[in-house]
Amino acid sequence: MRPEVMLRVLVLGLALLAGHVQASSIDVYEFATREQEARFHALNAELRCPKCLNTNLWGSDAPIARDLRRTVANMVREGHSDQEIRDYLVSRYGDFILYKPRFTAKTAALWVGPFVLLFLGLAIIAVMIRNQRREARLGMDDLTPDDEARLARLRHQLQADASGVSPRS
């Protein structure tokens, strides 16, 4: 690439970047108290933009995200609790809008699944360790009476083989 072409590309890139920065900071929300503002920020971080799959309300420039930010801001100003705001949006957009899903019959697998898997893993490891220990102990002290009898017969057979005498049945 020739230098001036490279420069043009760079300038274009910076211009696009500048546009982006401007677009996302264009909305200003005023609140009566610091506490309201903090709640507004926290809610925007935990609510998911319905239009874009993996962005919260803050991270999205989609028109619907802007509308929802405005709605959240209004509800915070009107004195609604965080839970009321969440419930309102869930009643409109479903669980999809929550990044932290509620515990319901539908989401139970999501919440409990990892612990079930952890427990299963631990159980498998415990069984493996127990089996290994048992195998290590085998032939040492606690043989079952059947095993002892078999061991005695095998020893006997070995002795008999060594002395060249065929074993009795």
Q: Which residues bind other proteins (CB under 8 A)?
A: 50-51, 53, 63-64, 67-68, 71, 90-94, 96, 150, 153
Instruction: Output 31 or 93, the one with its CB closest to other proteins.
Output: 93
Measured from the CB of residue 138, what is the shortest distance to other proteins in angstroms? 12
**Phi, then psi, of 111 in degrees rounded to 5:** -80, -40
Measured from the CB of residue 64, what is the shortest distance to other proteins in angstroms? 5
DSSP, res 107: T
The percent of the chain in helix, strand and coil, each rounded to the nearest 5, is: 65, 0, 30
| Rounded distance between C-alpha atoms, residue 95 and residue 127, angstroms | 39
Measured from the CB of residue 28, what is the shortest distance to other proteins in angstroms? 17
Instruction: Output 56 or 64, the one with its CB closest to other proteins.
Output: 64
Instruction: Output 8 or 155, the one with its CB closest to other proteins.
Output: 155
The CA radius of gyration of the chain, in Å to the nearest whole number, is 35
- Which residue from 111, 129, 131, 110 is spatially nearest to 121, judged by alpha carbons? 129
Measured from the CB of residue 65, what is the shortest distance to other proteins in angstroms? 9
Instruction: Output 67 or 161, the one with its CB closest to other proteins.
Output: 67
| Rounded distance between C-alpha atoms, residue 168 and residue 153, angstroms | 10
